[in-house]
Amino acid sequence: MIPELGIELPVLLSAVVALLVLLKFHQWIRVWSNLPPMPVRPYPIVGHFPYLKGDIREKMLGFRKTTGDIFSMYFGGTLVVVLSSYEILTEALIKQADAFSARPLDGPIAVVGYTEGILGSTGQQWKENRTVTLSVFKKFGMGNNILAEKILEELKFYLDKLVSLKGEPSYIGNMTSCAISNVICNIVVGRRFEYDDSEYGKFIETSDRIMRMLGGGFLHQWYPKLKYLPGDFFKAKALIQVDKQFMDGMRNFIERVIREEQDGSNKDNLISEYLNEMRKRQETGKQTELSMKSLERVVFELMIAGIETTASGFLWFSLYMLHNPQVQRKIYEEIVSEIGTNRAPTLEDKSRLKYTNAAIAESLRLASLVPWAGFHRCSSETVIQGYTIPKDTMVLPSLDSVLLDEAIWGDPRNFRPERFLKDGELVIPQHFVSFSMGRRFCIGAKLAKLEMFLFVASVIQKFEILPAEPGSLPPRQYRMGATCPPQPFRLRLVERCV
């Protein structure tokens, strides 16, 4: 009994607990009754997945039309809020960047546990790894001449390989990935590999498999415990195995660089620079998130993110050239008038080739290679457009919804480089969000744009891109995954007579 109140202690405690439960319940109702709307009612366990069968990108764009620019979905049992317009993306990723820049703690990354490095990490781990990587890129001249030299070096091998095809119908996907990957390898590991090196071929193939399996549409990514079931119906074990295979490759790279560093034969690479920075911070006793484990992930991410995206960008460009020969002709004419045919294009030519740059931007826009930025996480309860997003909700920024928005582009499904030209000058509007927005903006954007320019200008200067069979054009269809390259197609690269 509490004499002052005249109440028994157990009764008082029960009342306090009841009040707390009621408050929590009230808070829960307040938040959950004010979520962004759902396009359709979800199924138990699988959520909205059954509605996404077929062309998932078109389905998601359709949900925007029926439900609005912000909507909720269930991926399995996980709530995901989809942001589907330029205005909403700006409000979340830029104006409310503090709340919308974290990465999820579960979902697609939970199966393999990508919480170190840059892409999947949050907080100090993300900040330090991103800053150190960007400063190494800067030191190597990201977007300037030193890097351009490395790309041009690789281009010589790539163009020789294309010449060896003798204008016959060919798939150029693998050799393009090998060339683009060699540029990253040069930066990260300090060396290149031969295109017919079988180990290297396997490495490229594995990176493609990981990208396909990380598409987010697999049930096991939302119920990671499925990996403990016998068999592998949900392909969870396959992803773990392929991830491990790739990580083992990264470890070999790192060990090799450490050996070469000791004998002084290889110092100018990202791994050495990272290790130096890590040792410096450790020696001064500074608290640091830089570690061997984080380095493995950073190397993994640069390889995966750097190969697939840029190589797919070039393949989409080639496919659009088959469908739009008049654009290819104009690019060639610009190259001839600004550079001629006696020397290779260089970085200095980039600002002069306006139409070529416009065609590259148009390829990246229309292909929308990364239809959704990586999953973000709302790190605190936040209100956006009057809706409440609970703490730790997964957020999916739809880049497709901006890059293919009729209200912005007028005729978004047409390939029309002129949309990026105004009075003969190249104008890239803020709605060009192929590399995302805000704090998670792609760290390789400058490198990718430079690679795309030098690859496109060098290939078009030397070859005409033609269909494998005259009059028959490959369809403009994508392969689903974390990135969306085109379905494999054949073409002919016929050397120009000059």
**CA atoms of 390 and 134, how far apart (whole Å):** 32
Rounded (10°) angle between helices 145-163 and 445-462: 40
Ranked by CB distance to ligand HEM, the top (closest) residue is 444
Q: Which of 67, 125, 294, 436 binds ligand HEM (CB under 6 A)?
A: 436
Q: Is 313 in the site for ligand HEM (CB under 6 A)?
A: yes
Contact at 8 Å (CB) between 375 and 413?
A: no
Q: Look-up: residue for tokens 């990208």?
A: 211
* Nearer residue to ligand HEM within complex by CB, 165 or 187: 187
Q: b or e along 375-402 (b: 16 or more beta carbons within 10 Å of the residue's beta carbon)?
A: bbbbbeebebeebbbbeebbbbbbbbbb
Least Cβ distance, residue 311 to ligand HEM (angstroms): 9
**CA atoms of 483 and 373, how far apart (whole Å):** 10
Q: Is 447 in the site for ligand HEM (CB under 6 A)?
A: yes
Q: Which of 76, 374, 474, 485 binds ligand HEM (CB under 6 A)?
A: 374
* Nearer residue to ligand HEM within complex by CB, 57 or 440: 440
Q: Which of 99, 119, 214, 450 binds ligand HEM (CB under 6 A)?
A: 119
The response to whether 185 counts as a known ligand-binding position is no
- Which region among 196-204, 217-225, 345-353, 430-438 touches ligand HEM (by CB under 6 A)? 430-438
Number of Cβ atoms within 10 Å of the Cβ of 176: 25
**CA atoms of 153 and 443, how far apart (whole Å):** 23
Least Cβ distance, residue 324 to ligand HEM (angstroms): 19
Number of Cβ atoms within 10 Å of the Cβ of 31: 15
- Which region among 3-11, 24-32, 299-307, 419-427 touches ligand HEM (by CB under 6 A)? 299-307
Q: Which of 195, 435, 455, 463 binds ligand HEM (CB under 6 A)?
A: 435
Closest to 459 measured CA to CA, from 176, 243, 123, 258: 176
Q: Which of 448, 454, 456, 457 binds ligand HEM (CB under 6 A)?
A: 448
Least Cβ distance, residue 400 to ligand HEM (angstroms): 11
* Nearer residue to ligand HEM within complex by CB, 72 or 398: 398
**Residue 70, beta-bridge partner list:** 83
Q: Is 102 in the site for ligand HEM (CB under 6 A)?
A: no
Phi, psi for 382 (deg, rounded to 5): -140, 145
Q: Which of 369, 389, 396, 404 binds ligand HEM (CB under 6 A)?
A: 369
**CA atoms of 84 and 473, how far apart (whole Å):** 32
**From residue 177, how far is each of 154, 246, 309, 310, 440 by CA, in Å?**
12, 16, 9, 8, 25
Residue 219: DSSP 8-state: G
* Nearer residue to ligand HEM within complex by CB, 312 or 328: 312
* Binding-site entries: 442
Query: What is the contact surface with ligand HEM in residues (CB under 6 A)?
Result: 118-119, 130, 184, 301-302, 305-306, 309-310, 313, 364, 369-370, 373-374, 397, 399, 434-436, 440, 442-444, 447-448
* Binding-site entries for heme: 442
